[in-house]
């Protein structure tokens, strides 16, 4: 018999790998201690982490929440932790949180921005989760409960509270039975929020809505003989004329005839995160469609449209945002008709929107360029017209590819809202913090307000980032 | 298959009329003086070496490419810059591409119902029934709710054919439909095309499948350097080619 012949008589049972090759031990061997250099780096990193925690943790742990000024804070830390210890003075946040959130918005009207925030989150639900019942219900339900608790604490009055409870109960029911129907709230939200935040005569928001009505009317009347693009342009011009020249006098007259409305709040009372959200959310919502149109325009065959879009994008991208903001405050005033009462926040929103739209246009153009030519050809060959092809075939794919870039732009835009401090608006980071730190009672406080503001910005931006990752996973259908 | 061929009647009605058509890419003269008449029910195979303009020719028929001179009349509608005419022709002419060009973000069923719903304004339910009918016909109804990425190449191409058929086109254009497929998948696509031919569809097919040409074509068109060099019934074309260029081409593709 030759040595090479072999017959197995018994099959081997599976065994667990040796201790050093499984679980945590294996992970550490592979990732932390795989070589001498890595071991040294791991130990050095560990030492740094221990040092950093040792330096900052006592500061957090010794934090004082109840004090009337920074002096008292320091005394409490001294009494509790000894002369060498440091401690955070969160009492500042406790006393001034409302300014960080609302600026100088009248305290008895805090329920209005809170309600607006609740409605914002509810009206985002159908956009974020489309018609997914469970997700819509969880979001709307949670938001409803939190908003109602906040509203109850702000005590706007029993009658209003019952009304809001009914409203949010109804919205939660809609979220469960017909989530898509929430889109109607989404469509109405901009005007609703405008009416809630600024208050004043109800005719103001209705006048603004009428502008959109005029746009739609002019578009539908002229579309048949002017074509989609020119008709849209004509509609925009007509609406702009209405908003800038006519609206104020008409709404004033209407208010004189039928005075309906709630207490008005002036733009200079807005501040803190209220301001950041008003500017950020509006600009994010408005810049996406404009960015899409600019991206399409830049790829258009029509010479004039292409030139205009390229010119706009390149000009805006070449100019710092702060320049644009100064234009909003100073230059725009000279060009507008004197009777137009053009709010500073509104001006800033419009320019920030266009600024962000130019960046988005380039991100989306990248997505468009990533699509194979065959997709356009297949859409053409099936007889879809340009806008149908864009809406049904091209954009769903191009936007999906561009999600990371789009969300990056949104996050950048939201953080850039702090730059409005330079034109005298009270952003949460510089505007409010400077005011708070200028108070004699809190003079010398440094880290606490920035940590507080930074934490809120982080929470919002991290949320956007996580949602975009979820969306990418959900939309992944190519199974590559 | 001989029996089937008998059923495939060609009528006198003209489906496509191309006269003195020229096309340039910049300075490059891709299509030179093309004259061609396609009757309803005809099955035409267009072959030729690469770069001979055969794909460009059929892409001119639904205006994926513009021609610069001459006339193309499809189903009585002349192709000009008039977008309405172009959309009309495109909704009557189905096209199948080399790389399938299915829409990856839509399911198979949505791929098939999209154009009927948005272009033809067919009610969704009716469009879905039609789509399932054609998916049955190309033998993949069970894949209706999958995405294109989950299907094999041959299955994707059959979906692409079904997607075109859902628009109930009167003419079908095939642009190298089997060139991107693995050998064992070519047959399933060709079988579908043969079935379509047997039902009397007017077909223009750019392909190198000479077996398919012999089985179903009633005319083979050979192109070289942007011109129609020779056209004939398949039997004549393969057994008795006239021009030297055709002979060379046939010897190269049939020679192994």
Q: What is the pLDDT of residues A404-438, one digit of tens each?
A: 999 999 999 999 999 988 888 889 888 888 888 88
Which of helix, strand or coil describes residue A266?
A: coil
Distance from CA of A377 to the nearest CA of B (A): 7
pLDDT number for residue B3:
46
Counting residues of chain B whose pLDDT is more than 70, the rounded percentage is: 96
Residue A1 in this model has a pLDDT that exceeds 60: no
Counting residues of chain B whose pLDDT is more than 90, the rounded percentage is: 73
**Which of A287 and A479 is assigned the larger pLDDT?**
A287
CA distance A220 to A234: 11
Q: What is the pLDDT of residues A360-380, one digit of tens each?
A: 999 999 999 999 999 999 999
**What residues does each domain of chain B span?**
14-100+174-254
Residue A307 in this model has a pLDDT that exceeds 60: yes
Q: What is the pLDDT of residues A105-116, one digit of tens each?
A: 998 899 999 999
Contact B59, B175 (CB under 8 A): yes
**Whether B94 contacts chain A with CB within 8 A:** yes
B150 neighbourhood in chain A, CB within 8 Å: 479
pLDDT number for residue A168:
92
Residue B8 in this model has a pLDDT that exceeds 70: no
Query: What DSSP character marks residue B206?
Result: E
Closest CA to B202 of B33, B16, B62, B29: B16
Q: Residue B2: which pLDDT band, with cuts at 50, 70 and 90?
A: very low
CA distance A341 to A214: 20
Count other C-beta atoms under 10 Å from residue B186's C-beta.
Answer: 20
pLDDT number for residue A175:
87
Averaged pLDDT for residues A175-180: 86
pLDDT number for residue B1:
43
What are the C-alpha distances in Å from A131 to residues A2, A179, A183? 72, 5, 10
Averaged pLDDT for residues A18-39: 84
Residue B148 in this model has a pLDDT that exceeds 90: yes
CA distance A292 to A137: 30
Residue A459 in this model has a pLDDT that exceeds 50: yes
Contact A115, A459 (CB under 8 A): no
pLDDT number for residue A339:
61
Structure tokens at B164: 């075109």
Fold classification of A267-479 is: MetI-like fold (1.10.3720)
Q: Which of A330-344, A414-428, B36-50 has the lowest mean pLDDT?
A: A330-344
What is the torsional sign of CA B8, B12, B13, B17? positive
β-strand partners of B204: B44, B173
Counting residues of chain A whose pLDDT is more than 70, the rounded percentage is: 97
The mean pLDDT of chain A is 88
CA B113 to chain centre: 20
The mean pLDDT of chain B is 90
- What is the bridge-based pairing of β-strands B28-39 and B14-25? antiparallel
Residue A275 in this model has a pLDDT that exceeds 90: yes
How are strands ordered across the β-sheet holding B202-206? B93-96, B171-175, B202-206, B43-47, B219-224, B227-232
* 8 Å CB contact of A397 and B104: yes
Residue A126: phi and psi, rounded to 5, are -65, -25
Would you mind telling me the total number of residues written for chain B in this entry? 256
Structure tokens at B48: 């030729």
- What is the bridge-based pairing of β-strands B77-78 and B69-74? antiparallel
Contact B177, B197 (CB under 8 A): no
Distance from CA of B35 to the nearest CA of A (A): 23
Contact B93, B74 (CB under 8 A): yes
**What residues does each domain of chain A span?**
36-88, 267-479
* 8 Å CB contact of B93 and A381: yes
Residue A30 in this model has a pLDDT that exceeds 90: no
CA distance A75 to A89: 11
Averaged pLDDT for residues A151-157: 83
Residue A163: phi and psi, rounded to 5, are -60, -45
CA distance A248 to A207: 8
Q: Residue B13: which pLDDT band, with cuts at 50, 70 and 90?
A: confident
Distance from CA of A227 to the nearest CA of B (A): 12
CA A202 to chain centre: 27
Q: What is the pLDDT of residues B77-132, one digit of tens each?
A: 999 888 888 988 998 999 999 999 999 999 999 999 999 999 999 999 999 999 99
Domain B14-100+174-254 has CATH 2.60.40.1150: no
Q: Which of A291-295, A339-343, A454-458 has the lowest mean pLDDT?
A: A339-343
Closest partner residue to B118 among A375, A380, A384, by Cβ?
Answer: A384
Q: Residue B256: which pLDDT band, with cuts at 50, 70 and 90?
A: low
pLDDT number for residue B7:
52
Distance from CA of B122 to the nearest CA of A (A): 14
Q: Give the helix/strand (H/E) hosting A345.
A: helix A344-370
Q: Residue B255: which pLDDT band, with cuts at 50, 70 and 90?
A: low
**Whether B117 contacts chain A with CB within 8 A:** no
Would you mind telling me the total number of residues written for chain A in this entry? 480
Residue A224 in this model has a pLDDT that exceeds 60: yes
Closest partner residue to B150 among A382, A383, A479, by Cβ?
Answer: A479
Contact A171, A143 (CB under 8 A): no
Q: Residue A2: which pLDDT band, with cuts at 50, 70 and 90?
A: low
pTM: 0.86
Q: Which residue from B minimizes the CA distance to A479?
A: B149
Residue of A130, A379, A381, A394 to mutate, testing the B interface (most B Cβ within 10 Å of its Cβ): A381
pLDDT number for residue B6:
47
* 8 Å CB contact of B101 and A375: yes
């Amino acid at each position: 018999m030759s040595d090479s012949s072999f017959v197995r008589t018994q099959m081997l049972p599976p065994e667990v790998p040796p201790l050093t090759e499984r679980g945590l031990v294996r992970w550490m061997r592979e990732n932390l201690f795989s070589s001498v250099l890595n071991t040294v780096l791991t130990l050095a990193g560990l030492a740094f982490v221990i040092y950093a925690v040792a330096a900052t943790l006592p500061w957090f742990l010794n934090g004082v929440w109840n004090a009337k000024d920074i002096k008292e804070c320091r005394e409490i830390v001294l009494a509790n932790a000894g002369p060498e210890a440091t401690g955070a003075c969160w009492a500042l946040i406790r006393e001034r949180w409302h300014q960080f959130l609302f600026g100088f918005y009248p305290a008895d009207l805090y329920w209005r921005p809170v309600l607006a925030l609740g409605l914002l989150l509810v009206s985002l639900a159908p956009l974020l989760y489309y018609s997914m019942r469970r997700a819509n219900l969880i979001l709307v339900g949670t938001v409803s409960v939190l908003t109602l608790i906040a509203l109850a604490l702000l005590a706007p009055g029993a009658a209003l509270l019952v009304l809001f409870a009914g409203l949010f109960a109804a919205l939660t029911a809609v979220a469960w039975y017909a989530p898509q129907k929430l889109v109607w709230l989404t469509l109405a939200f901009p005007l609703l929020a405008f009416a809630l935040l600024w208050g004043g005569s109800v005719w103001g928001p209705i006048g603004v809505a009428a502008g959109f009505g005029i746009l739609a009317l002019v578009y539908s009347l002229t579309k048949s003989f002017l074509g989609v693009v020119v008709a849209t342009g004509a509609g925009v011009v007509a609406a702009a004329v209405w908003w800038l020249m006519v609206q104020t006098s008409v709404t004033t007259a209407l208010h004189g005839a039928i005075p309906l409305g709630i207490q008005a709040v002036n733009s200079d009372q807005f501040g803190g995160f209220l301001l950041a959200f008003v500017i950020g959310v509006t600009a994010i919502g408005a810049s996406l469609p404009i960015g899409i149109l600019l991206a399409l325009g830049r790829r258009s065959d029509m010479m004039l449209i292409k030139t205009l879009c390229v010119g706009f994008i390149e000009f805006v991208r070449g100019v710092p945002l702060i320049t644009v903001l100064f234009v909003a405050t100073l230059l725009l005033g000279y060009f507008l008709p004197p009777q137009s009462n053009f709010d500073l926040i509104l001006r800033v929103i419009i320019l920030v929107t266009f600024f962000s739209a130019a960046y988005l246009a380039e991100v989306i153009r990248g997505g468009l360029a990533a699509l194979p030519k065959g997709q356009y050809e297949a859409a053409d060959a099936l007889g879809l017209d340009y806008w149908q092809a864009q809406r049904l075939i091209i954009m769903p794919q191009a936007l999906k590819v561009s999600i990371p870039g789009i969300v990056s732009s949104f996050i950048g835009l939201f953080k850039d809202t702090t730059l409005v401090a330079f034109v005298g608006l009270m952003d949460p980071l510089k505007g409010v913090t400077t005011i708070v730190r200028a108070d004699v009672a809190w003079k010398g406080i440094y880290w606490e307000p920035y940590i507080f503001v930074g934490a809120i910005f982080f929470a919002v931006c991290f949320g956007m980032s996580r949602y975009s990752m979820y969306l990418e996973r959900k939309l992944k259908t190519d199974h590559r | 298959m001989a029996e089937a061929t008998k059923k495939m009647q060609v009528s006198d009605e003209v489906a496509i009329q191309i006269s003195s058509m020229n096309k340039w890419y910049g300075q490059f003269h891709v299509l030179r003086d093309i004259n061609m008449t396609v009757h309803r029910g005809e099955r035409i195979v267009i072959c030729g070496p690469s770069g001979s303009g055969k794909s460009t020719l059929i892409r001119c028929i639904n205006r994926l490419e513009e021609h610069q001179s001459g006339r193309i009349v499809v189903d009585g509608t002349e192709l000009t810059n008039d977008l309405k005419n172009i959309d009309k022709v495109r909704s009557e002419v189905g096209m199948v591409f080399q790389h399938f060009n299915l829409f990856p973000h839509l399911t198979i069923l949505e791929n098939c119902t999209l154009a009927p719903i948005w272009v033809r304004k067919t009610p969704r339910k009716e469009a879905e029934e039609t789509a399932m009918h054609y998916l049955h016909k190309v033998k993949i109804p069970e894949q209706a709710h999958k995405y294109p990425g989950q299907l094999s190449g041959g299955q994707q191409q059959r979906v692409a054919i079904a997607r075109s058929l859902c628009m109930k086109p009167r003419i079908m254009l095939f642009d190298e439909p089997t060139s991107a497929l693995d050998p064992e998948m070519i047959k399933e696509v060709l079988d579908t095309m043969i079935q379509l031919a047997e039902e009397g569809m007017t077909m223009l097919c750019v392909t190198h499948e000479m077996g398919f040409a012999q089985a179903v074509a009633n005319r083979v068109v050979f192109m070289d350097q942007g011109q129609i060099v020779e056209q004939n019934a398949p039997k004549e074309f393969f057994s008795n080619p006239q021009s030297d260029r055709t002979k060379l081409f046939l010897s190269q593709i049939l020679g192994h």
